[in-house]
Amino acid sequence: MVKDKSRKKMYSSKEELWHIKHEQMRETFSKVDPEQLRKFINREI
Amino acid sequence: MKNYKVTADEESCHFSFQSVGVDLDGREHVINKVVELQRQTIVLDGVELNAYNLFLGDVLPDGRFSDSTRSNNGDLDIVLSTVAHCVVQFFSMHPDAIIYFQGSDNVRTRLYRQQLSKSENYKRVTDVVDVYGISDERGIFAYEPNIVCKAFLIRMKK
């Protein structure tokens, strides 16, 4: 069954898309401890 | 698991495929899908993470992109299996890369989490890659099925 329940979040360009995706990523990392991020990068987690 | 046929660019950072469902009249309903990965940087107190942000979305008839259209095409398992195939192909070209993946909203992220947490999917994925979750409460942690998180980090096993 196909229903068109489109919601807002359309991107008219790749630039807009990646700008919003990057903002979303930054928000998600905003509460991450930098030391924990360092450990993740170094495969210590 | 069945996959859709995928077209990829030379760098394996852009993939496209067609999701095929059936509408109320029994007619074939085709949605053009894209999987794209773009390298993006996060810096926290001088600690720099370079990760490939993964976008899964639809190419709309007017050329715009959407990652929030509810297509209800009845093929979620096939679509996500196809995305997993794209990720494997990406890692074959970028074995040291880290992928960041988050749904366009909490509902969609939960949907992806539920799919990943299915035992057969979880085993198939974690045989090849390490999966981490990110949450406000725990920060970055080695992902386990059904644990709530806002986003995922994925990298090849060493």
Query: Residues B91-139: pLDDT tens digits?
Result: 999 999 999 999 988 888 888 888 888 888 888 889 999 999 999 999 9
What is the Cα Rg of chain B in Å?
16
Cβ of A38 within 8 Å of Cβ of B24? The answer is no
Q: Write down the mean pLDDT value for chain B.
A: 92
- pLDDT band, very low/low/confident/very high, at A2 (cuts 50, 70, 90): very low
Q: Tell me what the mean pLDDT of segment B18-30 comes to.
A: 85
Chain A residues contacting B via beta carbons under 8 Å: 1-12, 14, 17-18, 21-22, 24-26, 28-29, 31-38, 40-41, 43, 45
Residue B1 has a pLDDT of: 75
pLDDT at residue A24 greater than cutoff 50: yes
Q: Write down the mean pLDDT value for chain A.
A: 85
Residue B145 has a pLDDT of: 92
Residue B74 has a pLDDT of: 83
Residue of chain B whose Cα is closest to the Cα of A26: B42
Q: Tell me what the mean pLDDT of segment B63-71 comes to.
A: 84
SS3 label, residue A26: helix
Closest by CA position to B134, among listed B111, B103, B157: B103
Euclidean distance between CA atoms B158 and B155, whole angstroms = 9
pLDDT at residue B26 greater than cutoff 50: yes
Q: What is the enclosing helix (H) or strand (E) of B29?
A: strand B28-44
Which pTM does this prediction carry? 0.91
SS3 label, residue B8: strand
Residue B37 has a pLDDT of: 98
Cβ of A2 within 8 Å of Cβ of B67? The answer is no
- pLDDT band, very low/low/confident/very high, at B21 (cuts 50, 70, 90): confident
- pLDDT band, very low/low/confident/very high, at A44 (cuts 50, 70, 90): very high
Identify which of B36, B66, B139 has the shortest CB distance to residue A36.
Answer: B139
Share of residues in chain B with pLDDT > 90 (%): 68
Are the beta carbons of B100 and B153 closer than 8 angstroms? yes
Higher pLDDT, B55 or B118: B55
Euclidean distance between CA atoms B7 and B57, whole angstroms = 15
- Which ipTM was obtained for this model? 0.88
